[in-house]
């Protein structure tokens, strides 16, 4: 234990204290006689020394032997014979009247943040006070630990003398300070100024920037000349940024801010950067049903219309061939600076196959390819990647009536054909299969004559008769009236597809390229055939034998008569 010299007067006061025992709750003067690692031993004039916890000092490292301060006696003696005293409680008791006066006047007090408790902070203002989290700042802080150890001004908002507790608020003072700064800023700000600010809050439509007391709105459309989906792509809460003052409404205290305005508008020199016909590179940033938007540089996008993706392929939607984020090349087709639009084309990077189709596939050229698709009127033959020719049903056979291309070809077949016509304006190439061979009707008189007995196979049935396949790939028609001497109500009752039949040629119609046959006339005499021929010759030239039902019926009636 360390000792120090005392004056006669001090010694006398100490004697008086010995004469009068210390009482709990009494405030006495204490003198530091020893400083330990976590506590201070003080002489309070009693039989024993008092102990003060080191946490009661604002700066424990500065406490030294000889320091004097008042303490409150909490208990005369503990089990070790020490007197329990508190420096803080002495200050609290002495300062209580002052705190009540401040509170009644609505005054402010300076306090040091001591620690974090549930719901807020403990503030030392001579006594321990409480500041709720919601009252620490304008917006409740997320990190209370950043305030511990710092000293701030507070306003006393609630005082309970019975419980001896104090509630403080810093928010009111901060708001008042911000209001004063806001009024000054509103007068100082000029459109075009560049000011520093801190990102206070982020929404879907923009961000609120704290300009040191005044909040301004940075709209998403003023963040970048380029495309952004959400402000969080560019900003983070708490980040410090430089912004441009765009507009000020002093009455409503509203300020519009800009970020992209710190840089030149890329559309101001768009024609020199991207001249017509130039080949450019960009990234696909959006796909819509009618085309793809391509970013050429931040703030500059061009549109590739779906029709400009390929010369030959019919692309239903851009997403069939492109993906967002894909890097592509294109050609500048048009620029509208006022509307900030650029038209782009991808197919222009390659030669239009239709520009050379007439020289590559002149009429008469024999081609070979795969049947890619069938329609009701013909088949599409792939000549090369993206270039098809069409074989119309009428150009599939010289002799047969083809109702659907599936009667001759199917999808995936390898087929040869002849180029008939190239229509560049309508992008059509007409092909023919029958043109690979000679038209048998040009020498029909050498192949068939009226009266000839022929054999063939039934290829098709109709309500009016049956078609029979003859030699040289020529079909003949047996009308229902020419099947039998007996009346036939339904052709299917006497014939079926695939039946081998013997018939007599009773008519050759060169104009309509039809041959009329008669099964029942296979055994007719020469006179009967001549009579039959006379009746058939009465038909109008060019009349389709498919419609011969009434003519054959009339001929049959005359023969019977």
pLDDT in tens, 298-357: 888 899 999 888 877 778 889 888 999 999 899 999 988 888 889 999 888 888 888 888
CATH number for the region 353-436 comes to 2.40.50.140
| Domain 189-262, second-level architecture | Beta Barrel (2.40)
Q: Are 81 and 113 in contact (CB under 8 A)?
A: no
CATH topology of domain 275-349: OB fold (Dihydrolipoamide Acetyltransferase, E2P) (2.40.50)
In angstroms, what CA-CA distances link 309 with 155, 292, 318? 70, 9, 8
Report the 10 Å Cβ neighbour count for 187.
9
Write down the pLDDT at residue 106. 67
In angstroms, what CA-CA distances link 272 with 216, 267, 269, 303, 479? 36, 10, 6, 18, 78
Q: Which residues contact 8 (CB under 8 A, 6 or more apart)?
A: none
Write down the pLDDT at residue 7. 61
Domain residue spans in the chain?
8-89, 189-262, 275-349, 353-436, 440-560
Average model confidence (pLDDT) across the chain: 81
Coil, helix or strand at residue 340: coil
Residue by residue, pLDDT tens for the chain (561 residues) are 444 555 666 555 555 555 556 777 788 888 888 888 888 888 887 777 888 888 888 788 888 989 888 888 887 776 667 788 888 888 777 777 777 776 666 678 888 998 989 989 998 887 788 999 888 888 788 888 889 888 988 888 887 777 777 888 888 888 888 777 777 777 777 888 888 888 888 888 888 888 877 788 888 888 887 777 888 888 888 888 888 888 888 777 788 888 877 777 777 778 888 888 889 999 998 899 999 999 888 888 899 999 888 877 778 889 888 999 999 899 999 988 888 889 999 888 888 888 888 888 899 889 999 998 999 999 999 888 778 899 999 889 887 778 899 988 999 999 999 999 998 888 889 999 988 888 888 788 788 888 888 898 998 888 888 989 888 878 889 998 888 888 888 888 889 898 998 898 888 887 778 888 888 888 877 777 777 666 656 544 334 444 444 444 444 444 344
CATH topology of domain 440-560: OB fold (Dihydrolipoamide Acetyltransferase, E2P) (2.40.50)
CATH topology of domain 8-89: OB fold (Dihydrolipoamide Acetyltransferase, E2P) (2.40.50)
Q: Provide the H-helix boundaries in 327-386.
A: 353-360
| Cα–Cα distance measured from residue 27 to residue 29, given in angstroms and rounded to the nearest whole number | 7
Asked, colleague to colleague, whether 275-349 and 353-436 share their fold, the answer is yes
């Amino acid at each position: 234990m360390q000792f120090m010299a005392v004056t006669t007067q001090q010694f006398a006061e100490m004697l008086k204290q010995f004469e009068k025992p210390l009482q709990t709750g009494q405030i006495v003067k204490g003198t530091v006689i020893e400083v330990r690692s976590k506590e201070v031993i003080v002489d309070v004039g009693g039989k024993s020394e008092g102990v003060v916890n080191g946490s009661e000092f604002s700066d424990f490292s500065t406490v030294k032997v000889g320091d004097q301060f008042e303490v409150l006696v909490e208990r005369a003696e503990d089990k070790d014979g020490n007197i329990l005293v508190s420096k803080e409680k002495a200050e609290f008791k002495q300062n209580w009247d002052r705190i009540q006066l401040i509170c009644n006047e609505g005054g402010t007090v300076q306090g040091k943040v001591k620690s974090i408790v549930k719901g807020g902070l403990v503030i030392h203002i001579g006594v321990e006070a409480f500041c709720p989290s919601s009252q620490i700042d304008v917006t409740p802080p997320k990190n209370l630990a950043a305030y511990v150890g710092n000293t701030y001004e507070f306003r006393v908002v609630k005082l309970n003398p019975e419980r001896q507790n104090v509630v403080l608020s810093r928010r009111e003072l901060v708001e008042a300070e911000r209001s004063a700064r806001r009024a000054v800023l509103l007068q100082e700000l000029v459109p075009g100024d560049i000011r520093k600010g801190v990102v206070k809050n982020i929404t879907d439509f923009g961000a609120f920037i704290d300009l040191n007391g005044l909040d301004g709105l940075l709209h998403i459309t003023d963040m970048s000349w380029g495309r952004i989906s959400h402000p969080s792509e560019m900003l983070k809460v708490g980040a410090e940024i430089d912004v441009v003052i765009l507009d000020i409404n002093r009455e409503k205290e509203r300020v519009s801010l800009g970020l992209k305005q710190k840089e030149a508008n890329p559309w101001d020199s768009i024609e020199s950067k991207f001249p017509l016909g130039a080949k450019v590179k960009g990234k696909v940033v959006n796909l819509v049903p009618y085309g793809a938007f391509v970013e050429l540089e931040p703030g500059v996008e061009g549109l590739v219309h779906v029709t400009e993706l390929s010369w030959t392929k019919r692309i239903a939607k851009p997403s069939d061939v492109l993906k967002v984020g894909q890097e592509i090349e294109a050609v500048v087709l048009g620029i509208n600076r006022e509307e900030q639009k650029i038209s782009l084309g991808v197919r222009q990077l390659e030669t239009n196959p239709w520009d050379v189709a007439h020289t590559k596939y002149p009429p008469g050229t024999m081609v070979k390819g795969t049947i890619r698709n069938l329609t009701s009127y013909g088949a599409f033959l792939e000549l090369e990647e993206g270039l098809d020719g069409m074989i119309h049903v009428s150009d599939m056979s010289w002799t047969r009536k083809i109702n659907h291309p599936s009667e001759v070809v199917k999808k995936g077949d390898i087929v040869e054909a002849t180029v008939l016509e190239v229509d560049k304006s309508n992008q059509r190439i007409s092909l023919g299969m029958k043109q690979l061979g000679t038209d048998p009707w040009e020498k029909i008189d050498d192949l068939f004559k009226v009266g000839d007995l022929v054999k063939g196979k039934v290829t098709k049935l109709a309500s009016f008769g049956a078609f029979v396949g003859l030699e040289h790939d020529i079909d003949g028609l047996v009308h229902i009236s020419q099947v039998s001497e007996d009346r036939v109500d339904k052709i299917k009752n006497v014939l079926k597809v695939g039946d081998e039949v013997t018939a007599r040629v009773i008519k050759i119609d060169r104009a309509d390229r039809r041959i009329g046959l008669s099964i029942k006339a296979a055994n007719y005499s020469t006179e009967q055939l001549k009579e039959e021929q006379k009746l058939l010759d009465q038909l109008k030239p060019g009349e389709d034998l498919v419609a011969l039902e009434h003519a054959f019926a009339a001929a049959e009636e005359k023969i019977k008569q």
